[in-house]
Amino acid sequence: MFDELTVEAYGLEKSYGKLKVLDGIDLRVERGSVYALLGPNGAGKTTTVRILATLTGADAGRARVAGFDVARQRHRVRRTISLTGQYAAVDDLLTGEENLRMMARLTGLRRGRARRRVAELLERFDLAPAARRRVGTYSGGMRRRLDLAASLVGQPSVVFLDEPTTGLDPRSRQAMWAVINGLARSGVTVFLTTQYLEEADRLADSIAVIDGGRMVAEGTAAELKAKVAEQRLDLRLTDRPAFDAVAGYLGTRAIQADPARLSIGVATDASAGHIRAVLDDVDPRRTAVESFAVHTATLDDVFLALTGHVIAAEKETADV
Amino acid sequence: MSNATTMVGRSVRVSSRQVDAVLTSLMLPIMLMLMFVYLFGGAIDTGTKYVTYVVPGVILLCAGFGAATTAVSVSQDMKNGIVDRFRSMDIGGAALLAGHVAASVARNLASTVLVLGVAFLIGFRPRATLVEWLAAAGVLLLFILAISWLSAAVGLLARTPEAAAGFTFFVMFLPYPSSAFVPIDTMPSWIHGFANHQPCTPVIETLRGLLLDTPVGSAPWQAVAWCGGILFASVAVSGVLFRRRTA
């Protein structure tokens, strides 16, 4: 079991001045899996990645990456990882090819092998036609892909991606997801952070939800969704008195209530029998419920249920 | 070591493509030289032809200003994610900064040659022997090295590249209260102390003496002491600052 873990962390803590950014984070990432650290801005995602990638020391706790201690065996760790941060680490004045070739030289590849590796990466990341153009002329999505390609030159076995699609348009995001999925299939362990629930859902084998420097939940997307009831029966009430009556009757059994839309949600297994029973139970006279809908829980619901607030950034960045 | 070479290649390539910056660091000293020689020179009595007097000062201004732009490039690197990428690849600050400094030295030696060429066209006639040329080049190299490392430290200190750019102005104005453009004894007496004992003056006096084959006195030793001191302090401070900025 121990051998199967590529990243493990126990009780990571970090403060900047009086601000406690990480307050005891434990992580276990299996080899070859995609692990997502999901949380809003300021949750401690970047700090966690920086500690695991040996760039920042933790105040307390221990972490091992690929079997090496991130504090005491920093150089060993650095030889097995790559980091792609939130800001593309490429030179705008150099061409895509020159950027990759520089990375190849820095990872110690000789000229011939470097050239082949660079050509291969340009091809794989769909950048070959733009290889001789300066990066300053690239689109946001191309820059991110080049940045990721640059981080893979040295064939790392653990890849850290800090918010790989933040600020990208939907099409570039899809392209990036395809790239990350491909990476995972090639046997690399991917550790990513995201504020997008959909992203974690689409990419990750395992998801950790963090908020305010603490881990609030961990599991597969399905397991997390199960925490808030896999399916939800949304009842639409006829009017406000009916809403108040049903809300009062259900009490804490209601997992969601929205007076403005006269809507109340209860957990369900989505079977006809259960839905019929719920309807009969809350509305024996068949006057209060106007309509109903069965709703499959999203990670949004999970996040709301676990932290008491929504991930606000989602809407904002979806328009960009 | 091979990492440092790669980093030097990177910085040289990047700075050769900053066309506007290259032009500024070339045009500025040349324009200043033409302005001083043709507009102000007639009114300045230095005992020799003014172009002969002013060229060492212009060379120093050119080298200093060009070297100071290192602050901007270092600060740009600190601002975007590339330093984190390099560190995660186990490439330290020393290689990164050395790359910037080496590129600065290459850039500024090239622009010095160009400025000298223009100076020659407008009547500058040095009388230096080969040894004196080499000695002058050596002192200038040391000066560029010192200002480049100092600028690298400033670049690490500055929060934004814009703030770092402010430093280039400081370096550009430093030669004015020195013997670069007019003899110090024509300045008000309260400024003599500063003008005589700031790093530009001994460097300029050394260049002037060597290129024109006149006595240099203790100026070379003062120049070497100043530049060596700045260089040593800047390298040390850069190391500390880099570690602090990236912790």
In this prediction, residue A316 carries a pLDDT of 37
In this predicted structure, what is the pLDDT of residue A151? 92
> Residue A301: is its pLDDT beyond 50?
yes
Compute the average pLDDT of residues B227-244: 94
Whether pLDDT at B247 is above 90:
no
Q: Is the pLDDT of residue B26 over 90?
A: no
Q: How far apart are CA B125 and CA A246, in angstroms?
A: 100
B158: left (phi over 0), alpha (psi -120 to 50) or beta: beta
Q: Identify the residue among B85, B100, B244 best suited for mutation to test binding to A, counting A beta carbons within 10 A and taking the highest.
A: B85
Tell me which chain A residues have a C-beta less than 8 angstroms from the C-beta of B82. 89-91
Please list, in sequence order, all residues whose beta carbon lies within 8 angstroms of the beta carbon of residue A2, skipping any fewer than 6 positions away.
none
Q: How far is B198 from A11, CA to CA, in rounded Å?
A: 54
Q: How confident is the model at residue B90 (pLDDT cuts 50, 70, 90)?
A: confident
pLDDT for the residue B42:
83
Tally of CA atoms within 13 A in the half-sphere of B203 that contains its CB? 30
Range with the largest mean pLDDT of A186-200, A242-256, A297-311, B218-232: B218-232
Measured CA to CA, the distance from residue A297 to residue A279 in angstroms comes to 20
Summarised one tens digit per residue, pLDDT across range A14-46 is: 999 889 999 999 999 999 999 999 988 888 999
Check whether B202 has a pLDDT greater than 90: yes
Chain A touched by B20 (CB under 8 Å): no
**Minimal Cα–Cα distance from B8 to chain A, Å?**
11
pLDDT over 50 at A314, yes or no = no
Q: Kindly state whether B44 is in contact with chain A, defined as any CB-CB distance less than 8 angstroms.
A: no
Residue of B nearest to A74 (CA): B90
The whole-number pLDDT of residue B180 equals 87
What integer is the mean pLDDT of B43-60? 87
State ipTM: 0.84
Is B17 an interface residue toward A (CB < 8 Å)? yes
Q: How many degrees, rounded to 5, is the angle at CA B146 between CA B145 and CA B149?
A: 85
Question: pLDDT band at residue B70, thresholds of 50, 70 and 90?
Answer: very high
Contact between residue A271 and residue A310 where contact means Cβ atoms under 8 Å apart: no
Per-residue pLDDT at B196 exceeds 60:
yes
Residues of A in contact with B17 (CB under 8 A): 93-94, 134
Find the closest chain A residue to B96 by CA distance.
A106
Question: What residues in A contact B91, CB-CB < 8 Å?
Answer: 106
Q: Which residue of B has its CA nearest to A156?
A: B89
CA atoms of B237 and B246, how far apart (whole Å):
14
Confidence (pLDDT) at A308: 67
Q: Smallest Cα–Cα separation from A134: which of A100, A77, A93, A106?
A: A93
Give pLDDT, residue B1.
66
pLDDT at B227 exceeding the cut of 60: yes
Beta pairing partners, A214 = A211
Mean pLDDT of B121-142: 93
Task: Find the helix or strand (DSSP H, E) in which B40 lies.
Answer: none
> Tell me, what's the pLDDT at A24?
93
B13/A105 touch (CB, cutoff 8 Å), yes or no: no
What the block records as the tokens of A83 is: 């980091």
Is the model's pLDDT at A124 over the cut of 70? Answer: yes
Establish if B90 touches chain A: CB-CB under 8 angstroms: yes
Q: According to the model, what pLDDT value does residue A310 have? A: 56
- Burial level of B113, CB count in 10 A (0-12/13-18/19+)? exposed
DSSP assignment, residue B38?
I
Rounded to whole angstroms, how far apart are CA atoms A230 and A136?
A: 46
Q: pTM value? A: 0.80
In this prediction, residue B120 carries a pLDDT of 92
Q: Does the pLDDT at position B118 exceed 60?
A: yes
Of all helices (H) and strands (E), which one includes residue B123? none
The model's pLDDT over A152-192, given as tens digits with 9 standing for 90+, comes to 998 899 999 999 998 888 888 998 999 899 988 888 999 99
B6 to chain A, any CB pair closer than 8 A? The answer is: yes
Q: Do B13 and A79 touch (CB under 8 A)?
A: no
Q: What is the mean pLDDT of chain A?
A: 88
Residue A266 confidence class, pLDDT cut points 50, 70, 90:
confident
Task: Give pLDDT tens digits for B162-176.
Answer: 999 888 888 888 988
Mean pLDDT for chain B overall: 90
Q: How far apart are CA A187 and CA A180, in angstroms?
A: 11
Q: For the residues B205-214, what does the mean pLDDT come to?
A: 91
Q: Who wins on pLDDT, A8 or B47?
A: A8
